[in-house]
A and B are shown apart, each in its own frame.
Chain A
Amino acid sequence: MSPRLVPHATDPVRRMETPVTVTVDGEPVRGIAGQTVAGLLLASGRTAWRATGSGAPRGVFCGIGVCFDCLVTVNGERDVRACRRRVHEGDAVSTQARDERGER
Chain B
Amino acid sequence: MDRTRVVILGAGIVGSACARELALAGCDVLVIDRGGPAAATTSHGEGNILLSDKGPGPELELAKLSRRLWPEVLTDLGGLAVQAEWQPKGGIVVATTRAGADGLRPFAASQRASGVVAEAMDADALRAAEPHVTREHTAAVHYPQDAQVQPAGAAAALLSGALAAGASLRSGREVLGGVVRGGRLTGVRTSHGTLEGDVFLNAAGPWSGELAARLGAPVDIRPRRGEVLVTTPLPPTVFHKVYDADYVGAVGSGAGDLQTSAVVEATLAGSVLLGSSRRRVGFDARTRPEVLSAIAAKALRLFPSLARVPVMRAYGGFRPYVPDHLPVIGPDPRLAGLWHASGHEGAGIGLSVGTARLVRALLDGREPEIDAGPFRVDRPAVLGEDVPAGSTAGEETT
Contact = CB atoms under 8 A, between A and B. Distances in A.
Interface in B215-264: 232-236, 239
Contacts of A53: 233, 269-270
Interface of B: 87, 89, 232-236, 239, 266, 268-270, 308-310
A79 B89 contact: no
Interface of A: 53, 76-79, 98-99, 101-104
Contact of A76 (B89, B235, B239, B308): B308
Main DSSP-derived SS at the B contact region: loop
Nearest to A100: B270
B308 A102 contact: no
Contact of A78 (B87, B239, B268, B308): B308
Contacts, number: 26
Nearest to A77: B308
Contacts of B89: 103-104
A103 B239 CA distance: 7
Nearest to A97: B235
A99 B87 contact: no
Nearest to B239: A104
Given A79-B232, A98-B233, A98-B270, A103 B308 contact: no
Contacts of A104: 89, 236, 239
A101 B270 contact: yes
A99 B268 CA distance: 11
A45 B308 CA distance: 30
A79 B268 contact: no
Contacts of A76: 308
Contacts of A101: 235-236, 266, 268, 270
Q: Determine which residue in A76, A77, A103 has the highest number of CB atoms from chain B within 10 A of its CB, and name it.
A: A103
Contacts of A78: 232, 234, 308-309
A79 B236 contact: no
